[in-house]
Chain A
């Protein structure tokens, strides 16, 4: 068979709308899961054993069951307890909930990389715990936390295609809707893949820049 991309311009707007939803979903999950992951990582170092136990169990559940199942829960099961969400918000809630635990892993690794002496020095100087965290500890977690954080973050983009299963009109499902009408699955899927590749390339460039920056920080040189 021959490739024929002549029909692409007509379906381009539909694919682009799908790409836009994919981007929205990716950015929303990043913005929600990052601070939650940060708080989860801090709570993990909490003194209370029950808190740590609950967190470990939740982390095990959310990272252990298939993401698709979590998406189904958010869309089909949450309405049963009175929380009815539209497809896009439900996908954002579902993906943020498990990504937060992946991010928490990355941030925990970062926190553990800071020597205890840093806390002691800050306390001995009379700095408050909050100030110590913000000014002294968190900046030092970045070199160890950033690489795993970014690699999880790039997974979000690919993961958004799962949201098709709960009727989110993201790029993969947009492609499918288009090719079942045009009977040109090969061309449409190639174009969709190319759009994913471009979005991923942007994330990859950010990742490389981030890792270079982190490596420089690790050496403790000028930033």
Chain B
């Protein structure tokens, strides 16, 4: 697989400024700042418990940070917006989970139209049309009447990506999207993500898939113990990591992948 070309604009899409998050005495994020430009793909790597997932959950305020700011598309996220406005802003940020988290009692189609109808106010007809387009895009046009349990893990994750895209988000957050998949199902999900990147979607991807990072990511951020220990252009960081923690971590990852 070769590099996936995509256009990155100057405009900042996501800014995290001095984010801090603790759970009791455990420090999950310590003064984390980063910015992502429109159309950019950012790979986030690091050991388990290093704060990568917490960062994603702070960005869309699923888990509000204790302090710091999050700015998405020039507009501040935060509890100050009020519950309603925060929900609407959150809907602009798509999120894909390691465990898919599809709604098991809904069909594939129902999974895709529920939020667009409830949150965006689309009619059933509009939402269904959009859902069918997206299912075709992720290669699952024939599965709309199936229940999640009738699909493979890879298919479920592609449905989950389509469900997030149905909200027409400005940015997509991926939290280890292929970690729960059997090895032979990983590629079909990564391919959907490659297409998404090629279409200019801004993406923050927590991943252990180094080949994917190399092909798609513009920049890599390395986390260790709640801090960003290194960030830079993908090729540079992979070729010549500076920080000892990222050297050790990347060496381990590259050996296994």
Q: Which residues in A have some Cβ–Cβ distance to B below 8 Å?
A: 115, 117-118, 120-128, 131, 135-136, 139-140, 217, 219-223
Chain B, Cβ-Cβ closest to A138: B105
Within 82-119 of B, Cβ neighbours of A (below 8 Å) are at 87-88, 90-91, 93-95, 97, 99, 101-105, 114-115, 118-119
B62 at the interface (CB under 8 A from A): yes
* Contact assessment for A121 and B101 in the assembled complex, using a CB-CB cutoff below 8 Å: yes
- Measured between alpha carbons, how far is A41 from B119 in the docked complex, in Å? 27
Known: A124-B62, A125-B167, A135-B114. 19 other contacts (CB 8 A): A117-B99, A118-B101, A120-B101, A121-B101, A121-B160, A124-B95, A125-B91, A125-B119, A126-B88, A126-B91, A127-B115, A127-B118, A128-B118, A135-B118, A139-B105, A140-B103, A217-B105, A220-B147, A221-B147
- Measured between alpha carbons, how far is A119 from B52 in the docked complex, in Å? 20
Q: Which residues in B have some Cβ–Cβ distance to A below 8 Å?
A: 60, 62, 87-88, 90-91, 93-95, 97, 99, 101-105, 114-115, 118-119, 147-150, 160, 163-164, 167
- Measured between alpha carbons, how far is A127 from B88 in the docked complex, in Å? 9
Task: List chain A residues, Cβ under 8 A from B148.
Answer: 220
Top 3 A-B pairs ranked by shortest CB distance?
A126-B91, A220-B149, A121-B101
Task: List chain A residues, Cβ under 8 A from B97.
Answer: 117, 120-121
- Measured between alpha carbons, how far is A127 from B95 in the docked complex, in Å? 13
Supposing A124-B95, A125-B167, A221-B147 touch, asked if A131 and B105 sit within 8 A by C-beta, the answer is: no
- Measured between alpha carbons, how far is A219 from B148 in the docked complex, in Å? 11
Task: List chain B residues, Cβ under 8 A from A122.
Answer: 103, 115
Task: List chain A residues, Cβ under 8 A from B147.
Answer: 220-222
Task: List chain B residues, Cβ under 8 A from A125.
Answer: 91, 114-115, 119, 163-164, 167
A sample of 21 cross-chain residue pairs with beta-carbon separation below 8 angstroms, ordered by A number, consists of A115-B101, A120-B62, A121-B102, A121-B103, A122-B103, A122-B115, A124-B90, A125-B119, A125-B163, A126-B91, A127-B87, A127-B119, A128-B87, A128-B118, A131-B118, A135-B114, A139-B105, A140-B104, A220-B147, A221-B147, A221-B150
Chain A, Cβ-Cβ closest to B104: A220
Most chain B beta-carbon contacts within 10 A, residue among A123, A217, A223: A123
Task: List chain B residues, Cβ under 8 A from A221.
Answer: 147, 149-150
CB distance from B88 to the nearest CB of A (A): 6
* Contact assessment for A124 and B118 in the assembled complex, using a CB-CB cutoff below 8 Å: no
- Measured between alpha carbons, how far is A217 from B91 in the docked complex, in Å? 29
CB distance from B96 to the nearest CB of A (A): 9
* Contact assessment for B60 and A124 in the assembled complex, using a CB-CB cutoff below 8 Å: yes
Task: List chain B residues, Cβ under 8 A from A217.
Answer: 105
Contact of A118 among B91, B103, B114 (CB under 8 A): B103
- Measured between alpha carbons, how far is A214 from B149 in the docked complex, in Å? 16
* Contact assessment for B119 and A223 in the assembled complex, using a CB-CB cutoff below 8 Å: no
- Measured between alpha carbons, how far is A139 from B114 in the docked complex, in Å? 14
- Measured between alpha carbons, how far is A128 from B147 in the docked complex, in Å? 23
* Contact assessment for A223 and B91 in the assembled complex, using a CB-CB cutoff below 8 Å: no
Supposing A220-B148, A222-B147, A223-B105 touch, asked if A127 and B99 sit within 8 A by C-beta, the answer is: no
CB distance from B52 to the nearest CB of A (A): 16
Contact of B149 among A120, A123, A127, A219 (CB under 8 A): A219
CB distance from A215 to the nearest CB of B (A): 14
- Measured between alpha carbons, how far is A159 from B167 in the docked complex, in Å? 51
Task: List chain B residues, Cβ under 8 A from A222.
Answer: 147
* Contact assessment for A123 and B99 in the assembled complex, using a CB-CB cutoff below 8 Å: no
* Contact assessment for A126 and B101 in the assembled complex, using a CB-CB cutoff below 8 Å: no
CB distance from B114 to the nearest CB of A (A): 6
- Measured between alpha carbons, how far is A222 from B104 in the docked complex, in Å? 10
* Contact assessment for A126 and B149 in the assembled complex, using a CB-CB cutoff below 8 Å: no
Task: List chain B residues, Cβ under 8 A from A126.
Answer: 87-88, 90-91, 115, 119, 167
Task: List chain A residues, Cβ under 8 A from B119.
Answer: 125-127
Task: List chain B residues, Cβ under 8 A from A115.
Answer: 99, 101
